[in-house]
Amino acid sequence: MKNKLILSSTILIFVIIFVVFYKSLKDTNIYTPEVKFNNNIPTFSAEFLLSTDKLSSNTIFERDKYYLLNIWASWCVPCRDEHSLLMNLNKNEKLTLIGMNYKDSKKNAKSFLDELGNPYRKIIVDKNGTTAIEWGAFGVPETFIIYNNKTIKKYIGPLTQENLLEIQNLIK
């Protein structure tokens, strides 16, 4: 009788553990931050990657034009994966690509662009990551579509072929 009770208790405990683990498999632990659209872009000053000039965000973004701001780094593997899509987007005359090099050395960033090509009209440097944080970025790569100095779309992670089609439809 005592052995049956121990066996039943053991089986019951394993069933409970199994149910708890099975239910936890369905719960996602991925944190996706809330993205607010039609927010004014942050005001910032930075330096260019390919020159020693400094700039203000007021001089980059003009009204009635679409911009794609891509936050990237040479050490970022997903940035390398999405780079060919950015090269493709660069061919669209209605869209101006701006790069923000994130927590990277100028030497490594230039080597990255020399190897894969430069899709950006302008590239700004964010050495310590504070400018990206002001934009609401949580990592690299992240991409913002800007129109009339407002963020109208944000992509977290590397761009995909579906994102490319969505961006092209958005800027028509």
Find the CATH number of the domain harbouring 101. 3.40.30.10
> How many domains does one find in the chain?
1
Q: Give the pLDDT confidence score for residue 87 in this predicted structure.
A: 95
Which domain does 142 fall in, by range?
39-170
CA atoms of 43 and 30, how far apart (whole Å): 30
Residue 34: inside a domain = no
β-pair partners for 143:
70, 155
- For 61-156, where are the alpha helices, taking DSSP H only? 77-89, 106-116, 130-135
Is 14 domain-assigned?
no
On whether residue 16 sits in a domain, the answer given is: no
* Residue 68 is assigned to a structural domain of this protein: yes
**Position 15 in a domain:** no
- The reply to whether 22 falls in a domain is no
pLDDT of res. 31: 47
With pLDDT > 70 as the criterion, what percentage of the chain qualifies? Answer: 92
Q: Kindly state whether residue 98 falls inside one of the protein's structural domains.
A: yes
Q: What is the pLDDT of residue 35?
A: 53
Residue 54's beta-bridge partner residues?
47
* Nearest Cα to Cα of residue 40 among 21, 19, 24, 63: 63
7 in a domain, yes or no?
no
Q: Which residues contact 136 (CB under 8 A, 6 or more apart)?
A: 33, 35, 36, 154
Cβ contacts of 141 within 8 Å, gap of 6 or more: 70, 71, 72, 76, 78, 79, 82, 157, 158, 159
pLDDT in tens, 111-125: 999 999 999 999 999
Q: Which residues of the chain have pLDDT under 70?
A: 26-38
Decide: helix, strand or coil at residue 71: strand
Statement: the pTM of the whole predicted model exceeds 0.75? yes
Q: Is-contact 155 163, C-beta < 8 A?
A: yes
